[in-house]
Amino acid sequence: MSTILIKNADIITINSAGDILKSTDILIQDGKIMQIAKNIFAPADKTINATGKVVLPGFIQTHIHLCQTLFRGMAEDMPLLPWLRERIWKFEAAHNEKSTYYSAMLGIGELISGGTTTILDMGGVNHTNRIFEAIEQSGIRAFAGKAMMDSGVDIPPQILETADNSINESMELYQKWNGRANGRIHYAFAPRFILSCSDGLFRELAKLSVEYKIPVHTHTYESRTEGKEVFALKGMREFEYFEKFGLLNERLLAAHCVWTDENDLKLMKQYGVRALHCPSSNFKLGSGMCNLKTLLDRGISVSIGADGAPCNNNLDMLHEVRTTALMQNVLSEPGTIKAHKYLELATIEGAKALSIDHETGSVEVGKKADIIILDLENEFHNWTGESVDLPAKIVYGAKSSDVETVIIDGMVVMENRELKTVDKKEILKKSNDVIREIIV
């Protein structure tokens, strides 16, 4: 791998001390951060002048649906369950290998362009190999798996599996992809939610998750209606159900967690369940508002994801961070959670949720070089006086277009807003072609 030297950056390290370093250099070698100091003069294959610019660890989005990116804007003005049953599942059922690949690349291109360097993706039921191929080619760091659906109401036959087939295919994908690309790709089981998975499927997943230490990525407590249907079907609340099958542990990655009650919170804390916060999706589908302070005060892990393009309608982490902060100011009061903490939720807390905080999520010596560079000086919306708090400036004012350069695993994947691993023109053209092919 090449050696990269970043010069004169203002670095928001997101280390445990919360250090913000002014006019400091970063030396990257063999994909890792080797040195952080002023006036590094080591030889480098590439030198990036970051004078007046801001370096952050790359954003880590812990709930994404790459297979849905192609359907942006095609399921508007609907609450969760009709949105799924009348639109999204039908669209996913129409996917072929080509459309799945370009949907994934469309999403990854947007993610990288906005400074996201790691994702947790819930793939589709079919053609998941193509999502992994897109992940490998693009250079993004990812946990991903095939969506699992073997039971439920109004599920199209093309995406309704048997439990055995779902599990067998998942394990084949695990064997093929887990650890690939210099350890950049990891597998995660992705049972969609309780209303689309059988008891037998969850029971077997609990065993396999323990045996192979595979995370389990699912949806929980997203809307009131969903919760009522779960209780009517199972006679218990969602975390009680998961506890019954041995799925409550630190490997359970639970998207949304909007309608948790006091007992749910006790179970989350007791078992180390990780909450994946998706504010824009929750707003757009009318699902509700998750009060982060309630979770954080109990020591529960919280990280952030954009969810899917049809329920957001973008995959922009800076937009999610700002929405998170604005919503929390209403739920509690302004300043209850500081701007630096929101940047932590978008970086190191995502790494902790995925159990990779020893290798990414902060700008520290020895960690993977997953780094983004923001230009906050050359646009009207970024002008502030010099005394303004830098994290607050980013949380409340920065846009994805301010992300200038993205480095993942020591490789420059975007420089000066130009994507290096994703052909933007081709992806946009092919996406137009394939949506016409599969949606008549």
The answer to whether 161 and 150 have CB atoms below 8 angstroms apart is yes
Question: Sign of the CA dihedral 30, 60, 150, 273?
Answer: positive
336 has a pLDDT exceeding 90 = yes
The overall average pLDDT reported for the chain is 97
- Strand 46-49, strand 54-57: pairing: unpaired
| Radius of gyration of the chain measured on its C-alpha atoms | 21
Q: What would the pLDDT profile of 270-313 be if each residue is shown by its tens digit?
A: 999 999 999 999 999 999 999 999 999 999 999 999 999 999 99
- What is the fold of 4-57+371-419? Urease, subunit C; domain 1 (2.30.40)
Q: What would the pLDDT profile of 204-263 be if each residue is shown by its tens digit?
A: 999 999 999 999 999 999 999 999 999 999 999 999 999 999 999 999 999 999 999 999
53 has a pLDDT exceeding 80 = yes
- Backbone φ and ψ for 243, nearest 5 degrees, come out as -65, -40
Give the integer Cα–Cα distance in Å for 139 and 59: 14
Exposure string for 410-427, b = 16+ CB within 10 A, e = fewer:
bbbbbeeeebebbeeeeb
Answer whether 4-57+371-419 and 59-353 agree in fold: no
Mean pLDDT of 119-130: 98
440 has a pLDDT exceeding 70 = no
- For the chain, which residues make up each domain, given as ranges? 4-57+371-419, 59-353
Mean pLDDT of 354-370: 98
Q: What pLDDT does 386 receive?
A: 85
Mean pLDDT of 141-166: 98
Residue carrying the six token digits 């369940």: 273
Q: What pLDDT does 2 receive?
A: 87
Q: What would the pLDDT profile of 158-211 be if each residue is shown by its tens digit?
A: 999 999 999 999 999 999 999 999 999 999 999 999 999 999 999 999 999 999
Q: What would the pLDDT profile of 93-117 be if each residue is shown by its tens digit?
A: 999 999 999 999 999 999 999 999 9
The answer to whether 112 and 140 have CB atoms below 8 angstroms apart is yes
Q: What pLDDT does 131 receive?
A: 98
Mean pLDDT of 66-73: 98
User: Which residues 6+ apart lie within 8 Å of 425 measured at CB?
Assistant: none
DSSP, residue by residue, 76-145: -S--HHHIIIIIIHHHHHH--HHHHHHHHHHHHHHHHHTTEEEEEEE--SS-HHHHHHHHHHHT-EEEEE
1 has a pLDDT exceeding 70 = no
The superfamily in CATH containing domain 59-353 is: Metal-dependent hydrolases (3.20.20.140)
- pTM reported for the whole predicted model: 0.98
Give the integer Cα–Cα distance in Å for 383 and 117: 26
* Structure letter (DSSP) for residue 288: -
Q: Is the peptide bond before 313 cis (omega within 30 degrees of 0)?
A: yes
